[in-house]
Amino acid sequence: MPTETLQMPATSADRAAGAFRLDPITPTIGVEVSGIDLDRELDDPTVTALRRALVDHKVLVFRDQPVSAEAHVALACRFGELEVHPVFPHHPDHPELVLLGGNSDTPARENIFHSDVSWRETPSMASLLRCVECPAAGGDTIWVNMALAFENLPPDLKPKLAALQAVHDIMPAFGSRMTPDERDEVRRRYPPMTHPVVRTHPESGEQILYVNEGFTTHLANYAEAFEVRVGFDFKLAEMDLLGYLLRQAAIPEYQMRLQWRPDTLVIWDNRATQHYAVQDYFPAVRRMMRATVIGDRPR
């Protein structure tokens, strides 16, 4: 696979930029980025080039980047405004950084295909995840190209999905972590949201299959878009279709898989991907920090 080198002008703001390389991880998704120091302030042309690479390749992997929490947040802010997650624990000095991973008593629970915070009215544009500690083996993360997943759907199915809406809900994944009072408060602040089953990427124009196992509960208007023959079509046929769409994320040809090392930082386009954190290492510990960039309402 070819290597792409982006030549960037050196500036006083970022003398480390110079040029960076993009080495493909798979033919369909992901590149490893080298020749850049994320612990230093990046100039505007470099950030623009990284954002272009993010849209094109969907997942950017940076190795050997011992960035501080402050630098992590500063880097994420170059891509947009950051959210504060309502459930995950936060870094004590930087509430925009969530702390992910279980411990030797409790395994983490991100081992499900999902798109971050799709339960929000405006889900995230991108996430920046940094590995702080990981086991010697195991704990990989899988990312999926959901634009390719839509592109390869049966041609006769695609037009039928155009008008479909799906409901995304925070409660299936996070409700069990809350007290009844906390659930009432979170439900008040974050009611279920309806998004198109197929969204249009606001930068690339790609059509993206936008349902996920973690947060999508049902199709809001199945009976309006599909012929209902008998009563069970209202639910069972709807769930059959939703299950079929959810299974697309599990197709290996759309995926890349990353083996973490400490000081690896990954940026992914949350509008066009799903991911799955493999939980094969418990009771070993994997600790991560994530900043999440607020996006736009899916259209």
Please pick, among 116, 199, 201, 269, the residue that the annotation labels catalytic: 116
Please pick, among 51, 57, 120, 275, the residue that the annotation labels catalytic: 275
Pick from 94, 88, 99, 103: which is nearest to 130 by CA?
A: 99
pLDDT at residue 5, as a whole number: 53
Active site residue 290: yes
Is 168 within the bounds of a domain?
A: no
SS3 31: strand
Is 275 within the bounds of a domain?
A: no
Domain that holds residue 27: 4-105+121-135+261-270+285-294
Active site residue 275: yes
Which residues are paired to 273 by β-bridges? 145
Per the CB < 8 A criterion, the answer to whether 289 and 97 are in contact is yes
Percent of the chain at pLDDT > 70 equals: 93
Q: What is the pLDDT of residues 138-179, one digit of tens each?
A: 999 999 999 999 999 999 999 999 999 999 999 988 888 888
Residue 177 DSSP code? G
Active site residue 114: yes
Is 19 within the bounds of a domain?
A: yes
The residue assigned the tokens 């990989």 is: 140
pLDDT at residue 224, as a whole number: 84
Pick from 99, 119, 240: which is nearest to 172 by CA?
A: 119
Write the CATH number for 50. Answer: 3.60.130.10
Active site residue 189: no
Is 92 within the bounds of a domain?
A: yes
Is 24 within the bounds of a domain?
A: yes
Provide mean pLDDT across the span 205-223: 96
pTM over 0.95: no
Please pick, among 57, 114, 168, 271, the residue that the annotation labels catalytic: 114
The one-letter amino acid code at 251 reads I
> What is d(CA 123, CA 296) in angstroms, rounded to the nearest whole number?
6
Is 227 within the bounds of a domain?
A: no
In this structure, what token pair is assigned to residue 138?
């195991």
Angle ∠(112,116,120) on CA atoms, nearest 5? 125
Angle ∠(252,257,259) on CA atoms, nearest 5? 155
Is 174 within the bounds of a domain?
A: no
Is 204 within the bounds of a domain?
A: no
Number of structural domains the chain divides into:
1
